[in-house]
Amino acid sequence: MLVGLTLVLALFTAFGRRAFWPAQPKVGEDSLEKSHFWAKMSKVATTKPILLGLLLISP
């Protein structure tokens, strides 16, 4: 786990803003364009976490 954390930090340092591909944030930018699919998924995950957990655990 320690190696993974240090590797991620090293990659972010090496690649800079390109590490956040395909949405590269710009300095001073308030928001990025959101994908409709991921916006819906994050809303479900934050509003109904128990239901989502049960769906992921059940075979």
Confidence of residue 28 (pLDDT cuts 50, 70, 90): low
**Of the candidates 21, 19, 22, which has an alpha carbon nearest to the alpha carbon of residue 8?**
19
What pLDDT score does 16 carry?
A: 82
| Per-residue model confidence (pLDDT) at position 13 | 87
- Does 36 have pLDDT greater than 60? yes
Is the pTM above the cut of 0.85? no
- CA atoms in the 13 A half-sphere facing the CB of 59: 0
Reference 39, options 30, 27, 51, 31; nearest CA is 31
